[in-house]
Structure 1
Amino acid sequence: MTQTHPATAHNAEPTDTPLPRRVRSPLADYPLLRSLALYRMIPVLFSATLALFTVVHLSLALQQWLIGRALDAVNSGKAATRLPDGTIDLSVAWHWAALLIGLAAGRGVLQYISGMCSIRASQSLLSNLREKILVQVQTLHLGYHWEHGMGEMITRTTRDADKLRDALVAFWRQTVETALVVAAAMGLLFWYDWALGAVPFVLTLIGFWIFVRQTDTLVVLDRNVSDAYDQVNQDLSEGIGGVRVIKSFRLEQGRIRKFRGHVHFFLDQSRHALAWCSSRIPIPQAVVALGHVWIMAYGAHLVVAGVLGVGELVSALLIATTLVFRVETVGRVMRIFADARASAARIWDLLDEEPALVGGARTLPDGPLGFRLDAVRLLAPGGETAVLDDCGLTVEPGQIVALVGSTGSGKSSLASLLPRLADVNGGAVSVGSETLGWLDVRDLHLADLRRRVHAVPQDIFLFSDTLAANLRAAAPDADDDALVEALRLAGAEELLARLPEGLDTRIGDRGVTLSGGQRQRLCLARALIAAPDVLVLDDATSALDAVTERTVLHNIRGLRGGHGGRMTVLLVTSKLSSVLLADRTVVLAGGRIVASGAHEDLLSDPLYRDLLGIDDRAAA
């Protein structure tokens, strides 16, 4: 008697839609400006923060001007006067003190509020950017991940994002503040005398120009450091992920030496960048500091000439000192921006990558599904070598078909075409039936296709979460009874009995607490709970013993897909026990399907016998 699977999530509506091709951003060649342009997403917070910064830092000129006026009042004897009775009248002095203290306190409060707003704006922007990165990483095709590696992906989402965060914070704390302080300082100096402000203004421009000229070198140096850091991350990821292989072959010392070499190279690149910055950045700072000398000399001349008061000269010197201290931070800011410019370029390179696989507009009709390959051709990355060539195959709904072939013959590549994890370079892959019609997978919603055509890869992967959470990854709405039934169908019911907390047991990173066979059965249960119409098992029973494998495949044979018909199964295998449970077998060699038929019919084929380890006497 056949069993109907309890999962109900298969009726959900597909969520993906065809994505329009991205329009090239006018700021594509300026990745840091493009990142800062994201502030347009929070216009109210950005405008409020900018207004607060403007009020706080332009009021610096007013504060320094008032200090000059107060000093002039003291110098002229107006701040404190002796009365006829011998007492001293300090009312004017108290007036100036109250005014200056009040202004400083007000600026302090506004500066605190503006700082909090800037941090909130920066964090909001960074959170949005990290979300974009995560969405893009999940959207990009598998080939991109294979080409760039885990280490590079981790670097872009951590180190590069952190450097961009530093730039977003520095944009407010240093860039906006510096621009406003320079404007306030120059405004006050030009207010006193145009010549008094002209020379510091020119020197400041020269200093900024020198800083800008240095940024290209800083970007190159930071890219070198980032590339070296990628190697450290990649080596660390491989060392952790492949720890069992490393220990099995006693590779610890070799891996340590290799990792140490990458770390030392990273440190060399970092030291080189730091040494260059330390020797070059003080030069423009010294140029800007010459303005202080000019204000002292020319300001003294104006005081002697009676054009400028002593208090105003002191005020000019104070604001010039503020300007020098502020400009000294520009070197650090330029380095932060140079680092962030390189990191922003790497992040936008990732975000601008076009998804190679875009879903179509059609959905699959209700009813059992099979699949068909029509002259399928698939090229290896680089487009030179054919992995599959002129492959044709039709599998009717409800059939269990075994796919056998030597290592590297293209079995996994063929299996990846059905749920459209990769696209063909020629021919077509279709799903459907003679009754429903055949639909090219490229015309279908990806969500709808992958909901009804499910693949269990040969690479076992489990999330570092509970057993229930791992199973519900394929059917979020499944109840506990459905989870238990899926485990039974996958031959893993005894595993559930052994776990201390049942379905709520955490199974560790990648299921490290389980054996290979247990992990494989959990992956099978996760696939079965979704009740797909087509199930692709890419060597997904290799870790099971013959008895368990026979039980699992017998259970699968009795299942029905989510749309009523018997489940269609493509079983990629190299085990004779698996082949004997299939309705027919397909032989793949050199990227071509060279034979197809029942096991008994293929025994006369020498290649078939070699693949399954059947000697000539047994075949006879």
Structure 2
Amino acid sequence: MIEQHPLLRSLAIYREMPWRFSLVAALYVAINLGLVWQQWLIGHAVNDVSAGRAVVRLADGSLEAGLGWYWLGLMLAVALGRGVLQYIASVLSLVISQELLTRLRERILAQVQSLHLGYHWQHGMGEMITRTTRDADKVRDALITFWRQLVETPLVVLATVGLLSWYNPLLGLVPLLLTVTGLWIFVRQTERLVGLDRAVGSAYDRVNQDLSEGIGGVRVIKSFALEQRRIQGFADQVAVFAGLARQALAYSSSRIPLPQAVVALGHVWILVYGAHLVAAGQLSIGELVTSLLIATTLVFRIEGIGRVMQTFADARASAERIWQLLDAPAAIRSGTATLPATPLGLQLEHVSVTAPGGGRDILQACSLSIQPGEIVALVGATGTGKSLLASLLPRLSDVTAGRVLLGSDASGWQDIRELQLGPLRQRVHVVPQESFLFAGTLAANLRLTAPSATDAQLRDALHRAAADDIVQRLPQGLDTPLGDRGVTLSGGQRQRLCLARALLGTPDILCLDDATSALDAISERQVLQNLRQLRGTTVLVISSKLSTILLADRVLMLADGRITAMGRHADLQSTNAHYRDLLGIDHG
């Protein structure tokens, strides 16, 4: 049942902190029982006052107010105790609600990191950010008010109906029926609010996505003078979001008064029928006062449900969106096998990969073999699946058919789907054309692949990536912050730093997916010469630059999803017209 109710699934995280949850629940129970006791005491005090027992005039004309002071002291003590307990319970509920939010966000981040690339392509950054921020905050807000609405309210209803029924069964029955009717109306209205908030959440996704694209693509926007168009587009998205939010707010504001009015009729009933019972001598003045006080508490509490109905409706829709993300199946699961410590080669056996969302096969029965330590170039026209093939090596994507094997003829070949993902990705690195650097220091970026690397090892990796000059120009050397995505660096500098980061991890298989495209001729020549000196590392270079291809021992040509030609560059140049056209080489 809990699996079908996302808000209850979020609440179930409290099971991971049972003692704190039980303590807060017990405190709220004590607070509400104290409230009933306080109002019961008020009724008895009123009876003693009206009967002349609270303050008595003695024979000598003085006043004896011992009983009055007793009632006053007792009620003040109960009120003070309830206040202290209320403060402790409120603080603890905030603390554990924040702890729940932290755990929920940690699970979202862990799930986002584990999901395959296809999921990210389909859903986008804006949607992920919304689930981690807005949706998680709304769930937290609902769970902060959870104690009052789902712990306190049933206690107040039971205490009110129980006390009123003790005085007179009919006095308690009518308020009970009116309260149940009002709550039923609340529940029916909540269903509509949940639907409205789903639409608001989707609109917020689009606002977030538009904002992230506007920030990430600011260089393109400025280059084509698109500022006003982007601003207008963003304003339109915000207007849609605001319109849906107003619609949800208007619905909530117009519907809440009805169930509140229904519950408030119970207060009128107690006043009218209670007065009749007092006149008939079946109820004392003090008991009528107690009945009105506790009925007032019930009315205010039910009205409180109305005030937070929007919060719970929002939270239910947000929790549904969060658990849709958390329940998304991991398309790529880790195996259990381990690779041998010997150098690794690579084989593809009749590999086919279907485009995300179905459709045609991008790779079709593609086969190739690269021996350990060999340097091989892969060439192909744009859109033939070269980058997709590269993503198969560390299992960022998975094959639809066929096998990707790692190993050697001496140690044997293993299907990468049987291997542990962590060790696999530590030994197989892909450096993409799109260079990504984090906002930390240069040293912190490099140490992502080797956390314990010394400064000397960092400088050696930078030297092999022909990036010595970058460090020399940075004001704080290795400790220089790089800014968001390395914004202070050129494209060629970012590529060389990403290559240095990969080399620092000493991979057994290194795939360069057009990773030298932004380098000048001198830097590229130095990088390629250094790659030539790598010992035992298998290198797959995806490129369309002749200077890069000349580095390779062999060249593979990808066309129509298959390896259609392979051999030395000189041989392919002389025998294969498609190869010459691909590289722009005139047949001499």
1:466 shift after superposition: 0.5
8 Å CA contact retained: 1:61, 1:187: no
Match of 1:80 in 2: 55
Q: Does 1:597 align with 2:567?
A: yes
Alpha-carbon separation, structure 2, partners of 1:334 and 1:265: 23
| Among 559, 572, 576, the residue aligned to 2:546 | 576
| Among 225, 240, 243, the residue aligned to 1:268 | 243
Show CA shifts across 1:356-390 (max 9, x none).
11111111101111101111111101222110011
| Among 195, 209, 214, the residue aligned to 2:170 | 195
Show CA shifts across 1:305-332 (max 9, x none).
1111112111111111111111101112
Secondary structure of 1:585's aligned partner? strand
Match of 2:390 in 1: 415
Secondary structure of 2:181's aligned partner? helix
1:187 shift after superposition: 2.1
Show CA shifts across 1:420-475 (max 9, x none).
11111111110111111111111111111111111111221101100011000011
Match of 2:489 in 1: 514
8 Å CA contact retained: 1:132, 1:351: yes
Alpha-carbon separation, structure 2, partners of 1:182 and 1:59: 14
Name the count of aligned residue pairs: 587
Structure 2, unpaired ranges of 5+: none
Match of 1:207 in 2: 182
Secondary structure of 1:79's aligned partner? coil
| Among 336, 352, 358, the residue aligned to 1:377 | 352
Secondary structure of 2:3's aligned partner? coil
Show CA shifts across 1:523-563 (max 9, x none).
00000000001000011000111221121121122123xxx
1:591 shift after superposition: 1.2
8 Å CA contact retained: 1:585, 1:599: yes
| Correspondences of 1:341-420 after superposition (within 5 Å) | 341-420=316-395
Match of 2:17 in 1: 42
1:175 shift after superposition: 2.6
Q: TM-score, normalised by structure 1?
A: 0.93
8 Å CA contact retained: 1:59, 1:184: no
8 Å CA contact retained: 1:140, 1:355: yes
Q: TM-score, normalised by structure 2?
A: 0.98
Match of 1:220 in 2: 195
| Among 59, 71, 75, the residue aligned to 1:96 | 71
Secondary structure of 1:596's aligned partner? strand
Match of 1:23 in 2: none
Show CA shifts across 1:69-90 (max 9, x none).
0011111111111111111111
With a CA cutoff of 8 Å and minimum separation of 6, indicate the structure with the bigger relative contact order.
1
Q: Which stretch of the first structure deviates more once superposed, 586-595 or 220-229?
A: 586-595
| Correspondences of 1:246-261 after superposition (within 5 Å) | 246-261=221-236
8 Å CA contact retained: 1:452, 1:533: yes
| Correspondences of 1:44-193 after superposition (within 5 Å) | 44-193=19-168
| Among 206, 212, 216, the residue aligned to 1:237 | 212
Show CA shifts across 1:226-272 (max 9, x none).
01111100000100011111111111111111111101000110111
| Among 417, 420, 426, the residue aligned to 1:451 | 426
Match of 1:587 in 2: 557
Structure 1, unpaired ranges of 5+: 1-25, 561-565
Match of 2:435 in 1: 460
Show CA shifts across 1:488-547 (max 9, x none).
110011111111111111000000011111111000000000000100001100011122
Match of 1:492 in 2: 467
Alpha-carbon separation, structure 2, partners of 1:381 and 1:79: 82
8 Å CA contact retained: 1:299, 1:308: yes
> Which amino acid in structure 2 is aligned with residue 443 of structure 1?
E
1:107 shift after superposition: 0.9
Alpha-carbon separation, structure 2, partners of 1:166 and 1:259: 28
8 Å CA contact retained: 2:438, 2:486: yes
Match of 2:312 in 1: 337
Secondary structure of 2:405's aligned partner? strand
Alpha-carbon separation, structure 2, partners of 1:539 and 1:229: 36
Alpha-carbon separation, structure 2, partners of 1:298 and 1:532: 85
Secondary structure of 1:158's aligned partner? helix
1:173 shift after superposition: 3.0
Match of 1:311 in 2: 286
Q: Does 1:614 align with 2:588?
A: no
1:481 shift after superposition: 0.8
8 Å CA contact retained: 2:13, 2:100: yes
> Which amino acid in structure 2 is aligned with residue 167 of structure 1?
A
- Percent identity between the aligned chains? 62
| Among 497, 504, 516, the residue aligned to 1:529 | 504
> Which amino acid in structure 2 is aligned with residue 261 of structure 1?
D
8 Å CA contact retained: 2:6, 2:320: yes
Match of 1:13 in 2: none
Alpha-carbon separation, structure 1, partners of 2:124 and 2:546: 35
Secondary structure of 1:355's aligned partner? coil
Instruction: Give the aligned CA root-mean-square deviation in angstroms.
Output: 1.0
